[in-house]
Structure 1
Amino acid sequence: MRLGVLDVGSNTVHLLVVDAHRGAAPLPAYSHKTELRLAEHLDEAGKIDQSGADGLIAFTKDAVQLAEDKGCESLLAFATSALREAPNGEKVLDRVRSETGVDLEVLSGDDEARLTFLAVRRWFGWSSGRLAVFDIGGGSLEIAAGSDEQPTVAVSVQLGAGRLTREALAADPPDKDQVRELRRRIRLEMAAVAGPVLRAGRPQRSVATSKTFRSLARIAGAAPSADGPYVARTLNRDDLSEWIPKLTKMTAAERAALPGVSAGRASQLVAGALVADAVMDLFDLTALEVCPWALREGVILSRLDQLQPR
């Protein structure tokens, strides 16, 4: 069957069309996305402004038409922290529903962690043993760990790269005192969740997903995306530690010139690198394997699991 998946994130709104059936890997057939940056379309009260809501509705209308053009049987549509946390999120959802016919499902942070974990488990398989999975989004960091397809622990922390950049790194390049204070904040919040995750058992395989981790791995020497999803990619802690001082001294434009870093996300890379560094330090990891599957694939796989076998 052919499915359309509409992913409304804090940074990017993405329509992915896949050919999939139960028991098989979903194969991407078409992709359409834009960096709407919904989390930046906030007024003083934290509400999504008119421009942000209008942009989301316009993209959703395009997504509905494209999904129809590509022959999709159904459209799975979900949203994450930007709509989940906005005080007027329900009103925006109502507008999307009434003007496009699409009913966006707002995932909780724990659901994000759980579904991302499912995708990583299916990608690496049972031989990985106990998995730990880390995903840095625009608004939050998801952490999940376990030995089955459902994680034993699944948590979401408000340590997204976009959120931290907006709240703590105003200058370009960032002020060194702001970087130091943000580093301290990240580690305090990370330490509060590291204990419960580690008490459940140390991972045999530690995995990172998300654009932030992929960009950091790429600038540290991992293979480019053009080499395909099956090439092994790793982010080493020593390499990240060498790059962080360099990244903090660069402007966003200079970071955008690095391999694997888009102009739209370059401003968030310092905050993302600080979160990644804290993950590897507090969880005592020398390296993270980068998985090409993440939340979108988890949503697809979960949907396929609900279908009756032929």
Structure 2
Amino acid sequence: MNNRFALIDMGTNTFHLLVTEVDEQGQLHDLYKTKVPVRLGQGGISNGAIAPEASERALKTLRDFRHTIDDFGAETVRAMATSMVRNASNGEAFVKEVFKHTDIQVEVIDGAREAELIYYGVRAAGVLDEKVSMIMDIGGGSVEFILCNQQEIFWKQSFELGAQRLMDKFFTQDPIPAESIAAEKAYLNERLQPLTDAVAKYKPIVLVGSSGTFDTLCDISALRRGDTSRLAGPPAASVLAVEDFYTVHQDLLRKNHDERLAVPGMLEMRVDMIVLASIAVDFVLEKYKLQEVRVSSYALKEGVLYEMLQSRK
């Protein structure tokens, strides 16, 4: 039996590939990891279809992924598509096209399933304990919130409020003006009412940010303090002090595109979306009075892997 797995997370903004191997003891050894700014939602997210250029970028990336997977000899390939593909009018046609060109069978997962898999990934990172936490995973298309502890999920929901969608709606000037920040927060306040109700019931005290934006916020914050330990790649679990988040956040709001790009730790593929995402993090911390921020570099694809390994036992 081949013990090499390839996991692909086809996000609205970024495609991730992880090739990993399971040894006799059931321990995982990552062989290869990459992320590519495919921007599947660009030019189409607001009108609900994948644009032709975006589709081309996706196919090229997946062909490259397929070569890498074959080079490593991974026989089990799982590819998950999320918000952009599940909401696109041409999502089904896109999935067929991918299979035709790459022999990769894409699973289009709904928001509730996405949230559940993110929980498994985050739990595997070791950031959860007995305290009630709120996991927040900010994608380009959707944002997942999960209220949980290390034992169980109490409540979960996916909202189509990802950073690309927020950007299309609120990012009309750069640097972002105060009225756009206020407008985004008012919009989140209205759209996240189900989360507000759940918070009143389950009373989370910790915010756990999952991958993406949160990894970048941690990278920027660490480099500001002269800590270069994350340059080799983020650890599975990190802590981001609330005041450190706000230092980075305020700085991002003041800067324009080029100034943000010059910030040590910034990734070009997040340089604009991170502004909208950071405002959403600020909103959540403030609104729900969360006292600490932890970060998991594990998310959806690690959750899929965890589930696969459980089913083999």
Answer yes or no: same fold by TM over 0.5.
Answer: yes
| Partner residue of 1:246 out of 251, 274, 280 | 251
- Alpha carbons of 1:51 and 1:27: their partners in 2 closer, same or farther (altered >3 Å)? same
| Partner residue of 1:187 out of 183, 186, 189 | 189
Which residue matches 1:68? 70
Deviation at 1:84, TM superposition (A): 1.1
Matches within 5 A, 1:22-171: 24-42=26-44, 45-124=47-126, 127-147=129-149, 149-171=151-173
Deviation at 1:64, TM superposition (A): 1.6
Aligned partners of 2:100 and 2:236: how far apart in 1?
Answer: 43
1:153–1:197 contact (8 Å) kept in structure 2: no
Which residue matches 1:215? 216
Which residue matches 2:300? 295
Instruction: State the secondary structure of the residue aligned to 1:14.
Output: strand
- Alpha carbons of 1:149 and 1:105: their partners in 2 closer, same or farther (altered >3 Å)? farther
Instruction: State the secondary structure of the residue aligned to 1:182.
Output: helix
Aligned partners of 2:43 and 2:26: how far apart in 1?
Answer: 38
- Alpha carbons of 1:125 and 1:47: their partners in 2 closer, same or farther (altered >3 Å)? closer
2:125–2:296 contact (8 Å) kept in structure 1: yes
Q: What letter matches 1:251 in structure 2?
A: N
- Alpha carbons of 1:25 and 1:288: their partners in 2 closer, same or farther (altered >3 Å)? farther
Aligned partners of 1:48 and 1:164: how far apart in 2?
Answer: 17
- Alpha carbons of 1:231 and 1:86: their partners in 2 closer, same or farther (altered >3 Å)? closer
- Alpha carbons of 1:149 and 1:81: their partners in 2 closer, same or farther (altered >3 Å)? farther
Instruction: State the secondary structure of the residue aligned to 1:165.
Output: helix
Instruction: State the secondary structure of the residue aligned to 1:39.
Output: coil
Deviation at 1:202, TM superposition (A): 2.9
Deviation at 1:229, TM superposition (A): 4.3
In the TM superposition, what whole-angstrom CA distance separates every residue of 1:100-150 from its partner, at most 9, and x where no partner exists? Answer: 221111111111211111122222277445443111111111111224555
In the TM superposition, what whole-angstrom CA distance separates every residue of 1:269-308 from its partner, at most 9, and x where no partner exists? Answer: 211111111121222112211112111100111111111x
Instruction: State the secondary structure of the residue aligned to 2:153.
Output: coil
2:9–2:80 contact (8 Å) kept in structure 1: yes
2:213–2:274 contact (8 Å) kept in structure 1: yes
Which residue matches 1:271? 276
2:145–2:158 contact (8 Å) kept in structure 1: yes
Q: What letter matches 2:284 in structure 1?
A: V
1:5–1:296 contact (8 Å) kept in structure 2: yes
- Alpha carbons of 1:232 and 1:59: their partners in 2 closer, same or farther (altered >3 Å)? closer
2:257–2:271 contact (8 Å) kept in structure 1: yes
- Alpha carbons of 1:261 and 1:213: their partners in 2 closer, same or farther (altered >3 Å)? same
Q: Please, what TM-score do these two structures have when normalized by structure 1? A: 0.89
2:129–2:149 contact (8 Å) kept in structure 1: no
Unpaired runs of 5+ residues, structure 1, are none
Aligned length: 307
Segment drifting more, 189-198 vs 298-307: 189-198
Aligned partners of 1:105 and 1:193: how far apart in 2?
Answer: 27
Q: What letter matches 2:216 in structure 1?
A: S
1:137–1:210 contact (8 Å) kept in structure 2: no
Q: What letter matches 1:65 in structure 2?
A: H
Q: Please, what TM-score do these two structures have when normalized by structure 2? A: 0.88
In the TM superposition, what whole-angstrom CA distance separates every residue of 1:192-212 from its partner, at most 9, and x where no partner exists? Answer: 41221441x234654211221
Aligned partners of 1:219 and 1:231: how far apart in 2?
Answer: 17
C-alpha RMSD over aligned residues? 2.4
Unpaired runs of 5+ residues, structure 2, are none
